[in-house]
Amino acid sequence: MSLDPEDWSAVQVLGRRMVDDMIDYQRTVRERPAWRPMPADAKARLMESMPLQGAPLEDVYEAFLRDVATYPTGNIHPRFWGWVMGTGSVTGMLAEMLAAGMNAHVAGYDQSASVVERQVLDWLKESLGFPQTASGVLVSGGTAANLNGLLAARAAKAGWDIREEGLHAGPPLTVYGSSETHGWAAKACDTMGMGRKAFRKVPVDANFRIDLGACRAMMEADLAAGFRPIAIIGNAGTVNTAAIDDLHGVRALADAFDLWFHVDGAFGSLAAWSPSRDLVAGQELADSIAFDLHKWGYMPYEVGVALTRDGDAQLKAFGPVQGSAAYLKSSEKGISVQTTYFADRGLQLSRGFRALKVWFSMKEQGMTRLGEAIQANIDQAKYLGKLVEARPELELLAPVSLNAVCFRYRAAGLSPSALNDLNIEILAQLQVRGVAVPSQTILSDRFAIRVCITNHRSELTDFDALVDGVIAIGGELTTGAKAH
Ligand SMILES: *Cc1c(COP(=O)(O)O)cnc(C)c1O
């Protein structure tokens, strides 16, 4: 029984409307609030019972327009700077549609999609100064890419055949990274069966960079206690403040202990595409590197990249241990003629054509223009930092690094906890009123409004509006408080 449309030309008309609508949706995003809460009736309409009988495509599309498209996270909006979320692009959207139309299965095989993925991986290696002989695979995002790197590290550095024998056949393994490292690291250690404590949180300096002396001392203590260190993580842009570790220093320390050097460059690695590339110098010396394209690459969700310097490292971590399964054998001729499967470089077997949006974006936008957009975000962070410093009502809570600004509203005579509560409310009001969407973090017990700019739609005036909004709301809340 075919699921194809009965009336192909009617679907063509509707499909064109969908494309037009979604291009308009992006074109007019600035006219809508950065975010709005989802009303209860819209939620209730989505929580309907399982549809046994189908409905006309037009009706489903109308429901989408009414209840789905209207209440997004907001990350395509020019004033969205929360967490580290990307804006995507029109080009990327269209490429996603084309990829879905082809519906390629990209475990490997002799097909265009595999060639395109290999090609974009080669471009990406070149863009970071990574050797062309490196191994790579596109994955769902930074968490998956970082896990890929850590599994490669473990296969290479455990010191026994851990894939065959398991964890219990050797000493407990440990991994090091700064206390500012993203939560993926402890989660990966947990996922890998080593336990969250296997991730050793190394203290940071005043600029939130890893303290290498402390790292060395922790590794020596662990070695003396019978642990086996396998890897050090260097951050190219931490999630809180976009701090960049001394990557050359991490490389040297890893070499001194014969450890794997993994870089988490989820967003920061892509500074290498911009004129500010020196900020992340040293990342190209890593044994593995993980970064996202759906954040600062401005490509639609989901796409992350896992690279290993050693061209065999991913195969050694994910490939067949004792010959591949019979149903995945390469053949002399035909569709299975390709010998290296992407499925042998990571966890996924069935894989989609993520590479197409990467290929479209890189070709249509070009690396120079993408790098200029990244540079614009770096310049905007500096601009916002200056605005904050210029206003007595505001205070920076961390040095402006790369594309992140952490600050707060200050008011005389408030206790530390009252000041935190005030800033929590200011942030909520910014979001609820649709002014802008920063997110939050805590730095030395101080609640920070955190702006992380990975947005090609933001303009300098958007940051003026943010600062004005924070000061207006802060003033409103403090005078309100005094009136009581
Ligand atoms: C976002 C982020 C991650 C996780 O990446 P996902 O794509 O969200 O899985 C890891 N590290 C840093 C520094 C990040 O900003």
For Cα atoms 454, 460, 463, give the angle at the middle one, nearest 5 degrees: 75
Could you identify the atom of ligand 1 that is nearest to the CA of residue 265?
A: 13
Nearest Cα neighbor of 293 from 283, 284, 305, 281 is: 305
Task: Give the full edge-to-edge strand order of the sheet including 404-409.
Answer: 394-396, 404-409, 446-452, 439-443
Cα 307 from Cα 152, distance rounded (Å): 10
Structural tokens at position 53: 């009988």
Whether the CB-CB separation of 233 and 189 falls below 8 Å is answered with no
Cis previous bond, 164, omega within 30: no
267-296, pLDDT tens digit by residue?
Answer: 999 999 999 999 999 999 999 999 999 999
- Ligand 1 site, residue 264, Cβ cutoff 6 A: yes
For Cα atoms 255, 237, 175, give the angle at the middle one, nearest 5 degrees: 40
pLDDT at position 323 is: 62
Helix (H) or strand (E) holding 363: helix 355-390
Cα 154 from Cα 165, distance rounded (Å): 13
pLDDT at position 210 is: 98
**Residues of the chain scoring pLDDT < 50:** 483-484
- Ligand 1 site, residue 280, Cβ cutoff 6 A: no
Ligand 1 centroid to 414 CA: how many Å? Answer: 35
Q: Among 73, 75, 84, which residue has the most ligand 1 atoms within 8 Å of its CB, making it the best to mutate?
A: 84
pLDDT at position 322 is: 62
The angle that helices 8-27 and 90-102 make with each other, rounded to 10 degrees, is 150
pLDDT at position 484 is: 44
52-68, pLDDT tens digit by residue?
Answer: 999 999 999 999 999 99
pLDDT at position 428 is: 97
Long-range pairs of 276-282 with CB within 8 A, sequence gap ≥ 24: 276/374, 276/375, 276/378, 276/402, 279/244, 279/402, 280/236, 280/237, 280/244, 280/247, 281/247, 281/248, 282/234, 282/246, 282/247, 282/248, 282/250, 282/251
CA–CA distances in Å: residue 146 to residues 83, 263, 305, 402: 18, 8, 9, 21
Ligand 1 centroid to 183 CA: how many Å? Answer: 8
Could you identify the atom of ligand 1 that is nearest to the CA of residue 184?
A: 10
pLDDT at position 339 is: 65
pLDDT at position 314 is: 97
Phi, psi of 480 (to 5 degrees): -55, -45
- Ligand 1 site, residue 296, Cβ cutoff 6 A: no
- Ligand 1 site, residue 292, Cβ cutoff 6 A: yes
